[in-house]
């Protein structure tokens, strides 16, 4: 009496190996995308922190110049913190160690130095940055009670998650629009 052969055939082993390889490759691709998303999250977090830092500096200066009345004072139109998109950042003072004795434009310049250290490629994108007054619903108008701060940084092509909104997939932007 002959016994039937037990075990796996070569075809079954190859199919199992193929399914396993496809699964492992899928996991590797997912890991790569996860790293990209984590990097984008880190840079956006840095941009949000820097924009909030500038807004708080502006608030401090604005409220320290008020006379204590309850009326909200809007920042003047020639405030040193404002920067048009086409303008360069002001020149930084010799030291940014203590901001207390600096003017608003010097504080903005010190802030720009921090931005250049924290966001890749930001130093070459001064035209993408702006700090201005707006009515809160659209781009900068120079009037209104809201302050808009836009930061930008450069990434590899295709890594900016909001590229469809900007048209350039190598420049990411973060916009903070708030009442002071």
Q: How far apart are CA 109 and CA 92, in angstroms?
A: 5
Residue 161 lies in a domain: yes
Residue 102 lies in a domain: yes
pLDDT tens-digit map of 16-64: 999 999 999 999 989 988 888 888 899 999 999 999 999 999 988 887 7
The alpha-carbon radius of gyration of the chain (Å, integer) is: 26
Residue 22 lies in a domain: no
Residue 159 lies in a domain: yes
Q: How far apart are CA 176 and CA 48, in angstroms?
A: 8
Residue 52 lies in a domain: yes
Q: How far apart are CA 159 and CA 32, in angstroms?
A: 12
122 close to 115: Cβ distance less than 8 angstroms? yes
Residue 150 lies in a domain: yes
Q: For the stretch 23-57, what's the b/e string if a residue is b when 16 or more beta carbons lie within 10 angstroms of its beta carbon?
A: eeeeeeeeeeeeeeeeebeebbebbeebbeebbeb
Residue 27 lies in a domain: no
Q: Domain range spanning residue 123?
A: 44-63+75-178
Whether the per-residue pLDDT at 156 is higher than 60: the answer is: yes
Number of domains in the chain: 1
Laid out side by side, the sheet with 146-154 consists of: 130-134, 146-154, 171-178
Residue 20 lies in a domain: no
pLDDT tens-digit map of 88-104: 999 999 999 888 889 99
């Amino acid at each position: 009496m002959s016994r039937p052969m037990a075990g796996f055939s070569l075809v079954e082993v190859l199919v199992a190996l193929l399914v396993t390889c496809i699964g492992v490759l899928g996991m590797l691709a997912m890991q790569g995308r996860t790293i990209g998303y984590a990097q984008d999250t880190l840079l956006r977090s840095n941009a949000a922190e820097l924009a909030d830092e500038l807004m708080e500096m502006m608030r401090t200066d604005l409220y320290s110049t008020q006379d204590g009345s309850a009326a909200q004072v809007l920042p003047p139109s020639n405030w040193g913190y404002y920067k048009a998109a086409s303008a360069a950042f002001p020149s930084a003072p010799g030291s940014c160690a203590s901001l207390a004795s600096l003017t608003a434009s010097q504080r903005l310049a010190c802030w720009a130095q921090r931005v250049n250290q924290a966001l890749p490629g930001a130093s070459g994108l001064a035209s993408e940055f702006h700090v201005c007054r707006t009515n809160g619903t659209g781009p900068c108008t120079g009037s209104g009670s809201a302050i808009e701060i836009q930061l930008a940084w450069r990434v590899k092509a295709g890594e900016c998650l909001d590229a469809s909104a900007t048209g350039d997939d190598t420049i990411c932007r973060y916009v903070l629009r708030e009442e002071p």
